[in-house]
């Protein structure tokens, strides 16, 4: 039996978080929506081994564009993070806030684009089947 991937969605904007959560749940994923980076860090510290992907707003108000990914990456070194933002990818790369290979989607995006990107990321890390 195939294990359902668990995705942590971190976005301070309620409409965006709700839309992302709905799209991913419709795709059959287990989704944990969280509003703030500090809450995400707390959650990851307690439940990190069960998270397969983090989808995070790139510009949370309580952190700068870059810092949410640092503690998450330290706590989940093998878990990919897909950043989503209204800010341009090239601008973020130029400012040294984002590596060119980092998964990124610019808001707004159609539901199908998010679903395909998440599917591709999860296929690359190949979520193992349940024991």
**What pLDDT, on the 0 to 100 scale, is given for residue 64?**
46
User: Which residues, other chains included, contact 126 with Cβ-Cβ below 8 Å and sequence gap of 6+?
Assistant: none
Mean pLDDT of 77-88: 84
Pick the CATH number of 6-125 from 3.40.50.1000, 3.40.50.2300, 3.20.20.70, 3.40.50.11900: 3.40.50.2300
More confident residue, 58 or 71: 58
Whole-prediction pTM: 0.82
Of 127, 108, 105, 128, nearest to 117 by C-alpha is 105
Joined tokens for residue 101: 């290979």
Query: Does position 118 have pLDDT exceeding 90, yes or no?
Result: yes
Residue 72 has pLDDT above 80, yes or no: no
Integer Cα distance of 29 and 22 in angstroms: 10
Residue 116 binned pLDDT confidence (cut-offs 50, 70, 90)? very high
């Amino acid at each position: 039996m195939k294990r359902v991937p668990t995705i942590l969605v971190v976005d301070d904007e309620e409409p965006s978080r709700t839309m992302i959560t709905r799209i991913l749940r419709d795709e059959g994923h287990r989704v944990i929506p969280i509003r703030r980076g500090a809450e995400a860090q707390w959650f990851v510290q307690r439940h990190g081994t069960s998270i397969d992907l983090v989808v995070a707003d790139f510009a949370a108000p309580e952190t700068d564009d870059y810092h949410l990914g640092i503690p998450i990456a330290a706590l989940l070194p093998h878990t990919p993070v897909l950043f989503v933002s209204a800010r341009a990818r090239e601008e973020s790369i130029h400012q040294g806030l984002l590596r060119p290979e980092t998964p990124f989607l610019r808001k707004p995006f159609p539901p199908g684009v998010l679903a395909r990107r998440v599917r591709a990321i999860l296929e690359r890390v190949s979520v193992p089947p349940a024991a």
